Structure 1
Amino acid sequence: MSLATDFMDIALMIAFVAVALAQLLSMIRVVIGPNTGDRILALDTMVVNAIGLIVLLGISQGTRIYFEAAMIIAMLGFVSSVAYARFILRGDIIE
C-alpha cells in the first residue's frame, strides 16, 4: 500500500465515525425533542446523515451504485420532510 492509500483509509474512517456520531445525536434529538419542529428538523438531518453514510460507503467500496441510491434517498427525504412539516402546520398535505 502506498502512503496516499493509507491516508485515504484513515480519512474515510474518521468521516464514517463523524457522520455516524451525527446520526446518533440526531436520533437522540428525535426522541427528546421538546417540540414537533425540532423533531422534523432532526429527521431531516438524519436523512442528510444517511446520504453522507451512503456516499462514504460508495467511496470506500469504489462503486457507483451507492451514489444513485443517495440521489433517490435525497429526493425522497426532501419531499417527505416538506410533506410532514406541512401536515403538522396545516393538518393536511393536499389542499
Structure 2
Amino acid sequence: METVILISQVIMGLALVLTFVRVVRGPSLPDRVVALELFSTTVVGLVGVYAIQSGVSSFLDAAIVIALMGFLAAIGFARFLERGGPRDD
C-alpha cells in the first residue's frame, strides 16, 4: 500500500511540474486556463492521496474546497470569454 501511495504522489508531482510549464509557456490564454484547471485537479488528487496516507479525513474537506474553487474559476473564465474578453466600459 505504501508503494502505491508513493508512486501516485510521484506521478502527480510530475504532472504538476508539467502543468506548470504549460501555464508559463502556454500559447494562448485559454490554454493557460485549462492548464490551471488541470493544476487544481491534480492538487485535489494529491490532497486525497495524502488524506488516505495520513488517515485524517479533514484533508478531504480541503480537497473539496480546492475543487470548488477550481470549478468557479473555470465558470468565471467561460463567462469572460462569452462576453468577448476585456472591455473598456
The normalised TM-score by structure 2 is 0.88
Alignment match of 2:60 (pick from 67, 79, 83): 67
Aligned pairs, number: 85
Which residues of structure 1 form unaligned runs of 5+? 1-7
Is 1:40 the counterpart of 2:30? The answer is: no
Distance in structure 2 (CA, Å) of the matches to 1:85 and 1:17 = 32
TM-score with structure 1 setting the length: 0.83
In the other structure, the counterpart of 1:24 is 17
Q: Distance in 1 between matches of 2:21 and 2:49?
A: 22
Identity %: 35
- Whichever of the two has the greater Rg, that structure is 1
Name the Cα RMSD after superposition: 1.3
Residues 51-77 of structure 1, C-alpha deviation per residue, up to 9 Å, x if partnerless? Answer: 011001101101100111111111111
- Runs ≥4 residues deviating over 3 A: none
Q: Does 1:11 align with 2:4?
A: yes
State the one-letter code of the partner of 2:71: F
